[in-house]
Amino acid sequence: MRAVIVAIGVAFLVSLLATPLAIKVFARLKAGQPIRSNLGLASNEGKKGTPTMGGVVFILATVIAYVAGHLALTTLPDAQIAQVEPTITALVLLGLMVFSGAVGFIDDFLKVRKRHSGGLNKRGKLFGQILVGAIFGVVALYFPSSMTDASGATTNTETVGSSTLSFIRDIPALEIGKIASVIVIILVVMAATNGVNLTDGLDGLATGASVMVLAAYALIAFWQYRHWCADPTYTANPDNYCYAVRDPLEIALIAGAAAGACVGFLWWNTSPARIFMGDTGALGLGGLIAGMAMSTRTILLLPILGGLFVIITMSVVIQIISFRTTGKRVFRMSPLQHHFELAGWSEVNIVVRFWIIAGIGVAIALGLFYSDFLASMG
- Are 31 and 51 contacting, i.e. CB atoms less than 8 angstroms apart? yes
Cα of first residue to Cα of last residue in the chain, in angstroms, is 27
Q: Which residues neighbour 43 within 8 Å (Cβ) at sequence distance 6 or greater?
A: 201, 202, 203, 341, 347
3-state secondary structure (DSSP) of residue 175: strand
Non-local (6+) Cβ contacts of 199 within 8 A are 205, 206, 209, 282, 308, 309, 312, 335, 337
From CA 170, how far away is CA 150, in angstroms rounded?
28
Q: How many CA atoms lie within 13 A of 98 on its CB side?
A: 14
44 among annotated binding-site residues? no
Stated as kind and residue range, the H or E segment containing 199 is helix 178-199
Q: Strands of 106-226 (E only): list them.
A: 146-148, 154-156, 164-166, 170-175
**Across the chain, which distance is largest between two alpha carbons, in Å?**
71
Burial of 321 (0-12, 13-18, 19+ CB in 10 A): exposed
Query: Any known ligand binding at 279?
Result: yes
Neighbouring CB atoms inside 10 A of 353's CB total 13
Phi and psi, residue 57, nearest 5°: -65, -55
Report the distance separating Cα 140 and Cα 134, nearest Å: 10
Instruction: Mark the binding-site residues for Mg(2+), compressed into ranges.
Output: 197, 279
Instruction: Mark the binding-site residues, compressed into ranges.
Output: 197, 279
